[in-house]
Structure 1
């Protein structure tokens, strides 16, 4: 929902930070469609707003909502990245990083344009929001932002080739019968 005057109705003389009081219940969330429809109707009576329907695209992330769950992907952004680095017609590869590759900061390889390399790594980092399968390779590439060379750029191009072959990959959040929240921590760093 989009409220046209959401930030126009209140004036603060100074910034304030608040916590929700104990027992606060967020009334907008829920699974009852009738309650949600009633809430939207009442809000439309009070404010000028429009219902944009189910979210399908947000900050470059495509969202597909179904009864089974929610799928998040970045196919359109991945295609833009491939085009930006002239890799839209490249041959796909089946892994994001070659086995046994040892990236180093030694100057044995020819240097590349740092700005171009940083742009490549930045685009790949944004793709990791929905592509955990490339996270390790991209984190390795990001270690050499200050001393990049042809070896690093070649490894970055391999990640792009992997993306070319896996454009439809993303994250699937499946609907569960009961919510089970599990967390892990390294207590040595607590």
Structure 2
């Protein structure tokens, strides 16, 4: 294997191990040694590629939410599309769980989570909100619903929430997200 491929494989192993470790342990309890052990490498390699735990965390928590293009959807379907998309993302991507766990316990993690949603969800709200002056508050309300669902379903694992079928969650939550984005201000 050439050195470039070996380097890429090492980086990939480190990032996968770090995602899993941050998701399981949170930022404070995750250690470089544990991550290196999970990646089956020496801890010095983690430091070589990422400098420190904060650098590694920043590399791990830069998700592209791959949000749907709401401009191509009927306006009344945006809430359903977002809730369905986020459920799929949370279930397929341990990175989001890691960000959420760290975001509720660590200021740097909270800042990272805020940036992800500001950079990626705010433009969605801008595309569909009837009043541009209300975009930040409407986007914040959408985030409160999506993160609340993620916290109770994927982190706290509340039995009543984990027992819900995806279709039921979409049926309950989509109208609320839709209202936050497009309804007249109360």
TM-score when scaled to structure 2? 0.28
- Asked which structure has the greater CA Rg, the reply is 1
Name the one with the larger helix percent: 2
